[in-house]
Copies of this chain bind each other. A is one copy, B any other.
């Protein structure tokens, strides 16, 4: 997606060799028109899948996941990142390490929202090591839902998450793949 690559080149900040800040595009500001455009790309890439639900993890994944859900007219479920007094006690919980926060986090989805009949498209903003997504997949497997695919806006291809998920048999579609952030420069795959 050339538009997105251009935005990334001009607006992102390289924090370190591993970390790219995409605040004005995905992580703090979002433009609805760009999100809907990105959503359309995912709808096109998974057009043959009988998707009944979009699932993401709070919170940067929500705008793009919402854009996909709106275009498919299916519900969006967002996993919460912590058990609180408000969570449904009858929930799936998986503990995962958080790459950007340097801590472990529980990801939580109430059992009522996932069933064996569901065909789920996972949508998220960025994949690095993929730890949170692996936890989400364990939840979906426990619920017996079918995972139709995984749509990612920005894949950091120099980290192992997306590679691992593809090798595990998932249809992972990334709109932009970053090969490296070394020497203060963004190199894209291809």
Q: Which positions in A face B, CB cutoff 8 Å? A: 13, 15, 19, 21, 23-24, 27-33, 35-36, 58-59, 62-63, 66-67, 69-70, 73-78, 80, 82, 84-86, 88, 100-102, 109-110, 112-113
Contacts and interface: CB of A to CB of B under 8 A. Distances in A.
Given A30-B76, A76-B63, A21 B70 contact: no
12 contacts: A23-B88, A23-B110, A28-B113, A30-B66, A32-B70, A32-B76, A33-B73, A35-B70, A62-B63, A63-B66, A85-B100, A86-B100
A140 B132 CA distance: 32
How many copies of the shown chain assemble into the complex? 2
Q: Which 9 A-B pairs have the closest CB atoms?
A: A59-B59, A58-B59, A32-B70, A62-B62, A86-B100, A32-B69, A84-B101, A29-B77, A84-B100
